[in-house]
Amino acid sequence: MAHQLKGHVRVTQTRGEMANMVVLAAAIAVGVATGSSDLMRATAELGGVAASATMAPFSQAQETEADLTALEILEEADYDPRAALKVMDSLRAIRDKYGTGVTILSTHPSIESREEDIRKWLNSRSGRDYSCALITTQEFIRIREEYRLNPW
């Protein structure tokens, strides 16, 4: 939600469209230069794979901005944004168990950096009282349990 609100999705789509246009232009140039439709097709396929592999969905700066925006959304919705620190604990456990090759860990800033940003944000809200803020809801608990019993 935060990525959408900040326009990150639109930026990523535009970059992807531009990469596709460059790949298409390269494929056409190869086809014209060689007269080979097979080489043109191979260039398009290889270029598409290369473009996809090199384009991360969001930059680390965008990920940080989305984290902070998400904290604001949580706070405005009367959820306790301090729970974000528990999410970092969960991500740390995943990293410790499976390593940093897990996609969400490899494309985002380090857990420690994200945790530091969350703490700074929370400290900037030092006068806020979250004692009555929601951590979860019964509806979420029900859905989570239902999913655990029948994930598909």
Task: Tell me the domain boundaries of the chain.
Answer: 2-54, 60-149
Which pLDDT value is given to residue 22?
78
- Residue 66 CB contacts under 8 Å (≥ 6 apart), including other chains: 2, 3, 6, 8, 58
Which pLDDT value is given to residue 151?
67
CA distance 133 to 73: 13
Which pLDDT value is given to residue 12?
67
Q: What is the pLDDT of residues 60-100, one digit of tens each?
A: 888 899 999 999 999 999 999 999 999 999 889 988 888 87
Which pLDDT value is given to residue 52?
64
Instruction: Tokens 């168990």: give the residue.
Output: 97
In this structure, are residues 118 and 88 in contact, taking their beta carbons and an 8 Å threshold?
yes
In this structure, are residues 92 and 78 in contact, taking their beta carbons and an 8 Å threshold?
no
Which pLDDT value is given to residue 55?
59
Which pLDDT value is given to residue 86?
92
Residues of the chain with pLDDT under 50: none
Which pLDDT value is given to residue 89?
93
